[in-house]
Amino acid sequence: MQLLNGLRSQYVDALTSASYLGLLAIALHSGQKSVWIISLGLVAVIGLFAWVSTHGRARAIAEMPTSLIGSAAQGYVELYGRASVDPDNLITSPFSGVSCIWYRCRTYSRDNSDREWREVSCNVSEATFEIRDPTGACRVDPDHAEVMGPEVRTSYSGAYKQVEEMLFGGGLIYVLGEFSTVGGAHSALSLSEDVSALLSDWKKDPERLKQRFDLDGNGEVDLREWELARRLATRTVEKQHREIRQESGVHVIRASKNGRLFLISSLSPQKLRQRYLMWSFLHLAVLAAGSVAALGVL
């Protein structure tokens, strides 16, 4: 899944551009009217889907205001903060051994019989990392993310090519995704369940239970004494819950469950929007040109 997201985010525009050229090359080579109509029609269809994709991403970025981590609402948000350089936040890329916060490493091979590179392996990091702004810190879970603007390094070894994409600690990171706070005031606590669990724990030590609640000394805990134990357990759990809710929660941003765009980038939101708008205009122009040309050939 991460591989598909990576292709969709970083290479979809290059792939669609190659598709345009490939279809036109097929039409030119054939020279047949029917082939021209089909090729131009496919160019228009690809242009339509590519325009919808890139324009939708540009709108999603433009319409979502940047939230501060410390006051962000629970749900779909946009964050922009600096990636931590703490050693616990860093991982090592398997190709170069460079410390980073995220990597995607691809290996390609090429046979002597042709000049085409074929991907033989892809390794994408899954470790979370931390970003900070002046109001707080948030963990980023990159699983299923589209990653834009990583640094790309390419090396060659014999018949193999290694392409390494990385995001680094210390840099500003843009994230668009599902924000939630784990623990603290947002803890999901059940008073009845926790009271029952505490009473069950007390029952495991009958002698200790009698020492605490056998008030009349008859060797057993009767209904009245058990009700006192239940009240004490309730007060104990209520106090524990208050303490838990007073603690600071951990902020996390990850992929949305409803499939909304989950984007991580080293580019600013302004540059991201400009890039998507540029490609959307290009695909729209191709859509229009392909449609007009196909109608002209008819």
Enumerate residues 6+ apart whose C-beta is below 8 A from 267. 148, 149, 174, 275
| Residue 122 identity (one-letter amino acid) | C
Average pLDDT score over residue span 128-145: 94
**How high is the pLDDT of residue 245?**
67
Tokens of 114: 């042709």
Tokens of 178: 């599902």
Domain boundaries, the chain: 2-182+255-297, 191-246
Tens digit of pLDDT for each residue in 199-210?
Answer: 899 889 888 888
Contact 178, 255 (CB under 8 A): yes
**How high is the pLDDT of residue 6?**
44
Residue 2 clears pLDDT 50, i.e. is over it: no
Residue 255 clears pLDDT 90, i.e. is over it: yes
Q: Are strands 172-182 and 263-265 parallel, antiparallel or unpaired?
A: antiparallel
**How high is the pLDDT of residue 243?**
73
Rounded Cα–Cα distance for residues 220 and 208 (Å): 11
Would you tell me how many other CB atoms lie within 10 Å of the CB of residue 94? 13
Check: pTM over 0.85? Answer yes or no: no
Would you tell me how many other CB atoms lie within 10 Å of the CB of residue 60? 18
Q: Are strands 160-167 and 102-109 parallel, antiparallel or unpaired?
A: antiparallel
Among 5-19, 190-204, 232-246, which stretch is predicted with the lowest mean pLDDT? 5-19
Residue 100 clears pLDDT 90, i.e. is over it: yes
**How high is the pLDDT of residue 189?**
67
**How high is the pLDDT of residue 258?**
87
**How high is the pLDDT of residue 123?**
92
Would you tell me how many other CB atoms lie within 10 Å of the CB of residue 257? 7
Tens digit of pLDDT for each residue in 8-36?
Answer: 545 566 667 777 777 778 877 777 888 88
User: Which has the higher per-residue pLDDT, 233 or 186?
Assistant: 233
**How high is the pLDDT of residue 15?**
66
Tokens of 229: 């134990």
